[in-house]
Amino acid sequence: AQSVTQPDIHITVSEGASLELRCNYSYGATPYLFWYVQSPGQGLQLLLKYFSGDTLVQGIKGFEAEFKRSQSSFNLRKPSVHWSDAAEYFCAVDKFQTGANNLFFGTGTRLTVIP
Amino acid sequence: SQTIHQWPATLVQPVGSPLSLECTVEGTSNPNLYWYRQAAGRGLQLLFYSVGIGQISSEVPQNLSASRPQDRQFILSSKKLLLSDSGFYLCAWTENYEQYFGPGTRLTVT
């Protein structure tokens, strides 16, 4: 069965430092992969996605992610974190159910940014 | 451009009372629609999805039901709420394999 693992429940970084959020998936083929961000009390916003092709994908707000098939990973990175990046981040995989694009989400990583 | 609305934004209901949460999408036709629940400190759980009017698929058996009376309207209901129904409910729609989420409804069952 498909699964998505985000091993880090909570990460704290200093403003200006680099960031990497980990995501591992379990799936029989190359899935469609997504990263979403959720600010407190808000809905989710799509940061970036990977479908195929170049394994390094660029997203909004200066984020990027790299798909590594050999490691079944899709880690999210940002070279310099801003205080406004403090939020919850979710990795997701498309379950490819017939007729629908159902996503399976990881449990999320909460990012705290300290000045 | 497309927008998605959810109401109410917050709701406090006693155990055993009924529930109706509404989601509407503007700017698109025949979207796939989804209801998710996010419990405190946990990820998102897909509850229902719909690929068309009157077509509802349930992902998790539970105390809730969903209906799609119109193309761009998706309703989440319960006849009798349980304490465990508390959470943050999110509606979403899909375009080009990307899901777009509404602002959510915070439900507290007391």
| Domains in chain B: ranges and CATH | 3-109 (2.60.40.10)
The minimal CB distance from A94 to the residues B92, B97, B100 is found for B97
Count of structural domains within chain A: 1
The minimal CB distance from B43 to the residues A42, A90, A101 is found for A90
Residue A99 — pLDDT band, cuts 50, 70, 90?
low
Domain that holds residue A66: 3-114
Higher confidence at residue A44 or residue A41? A44
Which ranges constitute the DSSP H helices of chain B? none
CA distance readout (Å), B22 to A25, B8, B51: 32, 8, 17
CA B88, CA B86: separation in Å to the nearest integer?
A: 7
The minimal CB distance from B43 to the residues A43, A99, A107 is found for A107
Which residues on neighbouring strands pair with residue A67, listed in sequence order?
A74
Which CATH number fits the domain that encloses residue A13? 2.60.40.10
Size of interface A-B (CB pairs under 8 A): 53
Mean pLDDT of chain A: 91
pLDDT at A41: 84
Per-residue pLDDT tens over the stretch B1-51: 779 999 999 999 999 999 999 999 998 888 999 999 998 767 888 899 999
**Chain B residue numbers touching A43 (CB-CB < 8 A):** 90, 101-104
> From the CA of A94, how many Å to the nearest CA of chain B?
8
Per-residue pLDDT tens over the stretch A46-67: 999 998 889 999 999 999 999 9
Task: Give mean pLDDT, residues B54-78.
Answer: 91
Q: Is B49 within 8 Å of chain A by CB?
A: yes
CA distance readout (Å), B93 to A102, B8, B15, B49, B97: 10, 18, 30, 9, 10
CA B60, CA B110: separation in Å to the nearest integer?
A: 23
Task: Give mean pLDDT, residues A31-52.
Answer: 92
Q: B5: closest CA among B22, B29, B18, B19?
A: B22
